[in-house]
């Protein structure tokens, strides 16, 4: 059995979760994830759709996932900042084709004199080096390469995330495509077939609830059209410059 959990919304502290729940705002705290890590080490599947949040909370989830003996799979829609650290804790990272990963330098608010500002800078730089370790372990890239990517706030598409080693695969790509395609341009049923089915359906004079389409006639027509399409498969196609685009 695979246990599923969502990491959606900002990454927050356990103490603040009740406030988000009160206002019915989506958010994820460490306990939301740690509570599903079972003693019998069942497989865990995490869906991530978050732009990030508190570094400490992200680090806590990351560490728990890395320490979990069972298999952890992360399905990433959006994993930014602290959420990207969580994704790195999975054994397998799968990207939605429309997904993204974003990494950047750690940020914090600070005030005080120049000693305080120097200390804040030191804390930030050491924090960058600490979380870079999570990216290094996943990608195999050097410490310097990772810090450079963080320094320029790097956004990665699904393909880029796989190429750079932040993800292992793109979701759905391994699924088999249908063997029978009526319209090779966009996988839609040939309009002529749709028109013929409608014509045959409209021939019936009975009320809609009692309509019985002659399935043999439709089947014969579709078979003939499929054969016609197959016969023309290897013929040159004169594509219209005004061909429709489907989104």
Catalytic amino acids? 81, 104
d(CA 111, CA 109) in angstroms, rounded, equals 7
182-204 burial, b for 16+ CB within 10 Å, e for fewer? Answer: beeeeeeebeebeebbeeeeeee
Nearest CA to 87 out of 56, 54, 52 is that of: 52
Bridge pairing between strands 2-8 and 72-80: unpaired
Q: Is 72 in contact with 44 (CB distance < 8 Å)? A: yes
């Amino acid at each position: 059995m695979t246990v599923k959990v969502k990491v959606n919304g900002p990454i927050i502290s356990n103490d603040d979760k009740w406030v988000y729940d009160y206002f019915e705002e989506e958010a994820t705290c460490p306990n939301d994830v740690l509570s599903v890590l079972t003693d019998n080490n069942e497989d865990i599947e995490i869906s991530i759709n978050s732009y990030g949040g508190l570094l400490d909370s992200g680090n806590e989830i990351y560490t728990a996932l890395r320490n979990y003996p069972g298999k952890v799979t992360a399905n990433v829609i959006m994993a930014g900042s602290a959420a990207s650290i969580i994704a790195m804790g999975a054994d397998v990272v799968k990207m939605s084709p429309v997904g993204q990963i974003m990494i950047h330098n750690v940020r914090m608010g600070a005030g005080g004199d120049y000693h305080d500002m120097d200390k804040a800078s030191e804390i930030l730089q050491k924090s960058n080096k600490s979380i870079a370790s999570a990216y290094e372990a996943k990608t195999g890239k050097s410490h310097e390469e990772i810090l450079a990517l963080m320094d320029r706030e790097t956004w990665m598409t699904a393909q880029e995330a796989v190429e750079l080693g932040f993800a292992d695969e793109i979701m759905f790509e391994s699924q088999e495509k249908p063997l029978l395609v009526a319209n090779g341009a966009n996988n839609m049923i040939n309009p002529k077939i749709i028109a013929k089915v409608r014509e045959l359906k409209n021939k019936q004079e009975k009320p809609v609830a009692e309509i019985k389409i002659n399935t043999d006639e439709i089947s014969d027509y579709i078979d003939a059209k499929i054969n016609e399409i197959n016969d023309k498969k290897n013929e040159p196609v004169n594509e219209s410059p005004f061909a429709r685009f489907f989104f």
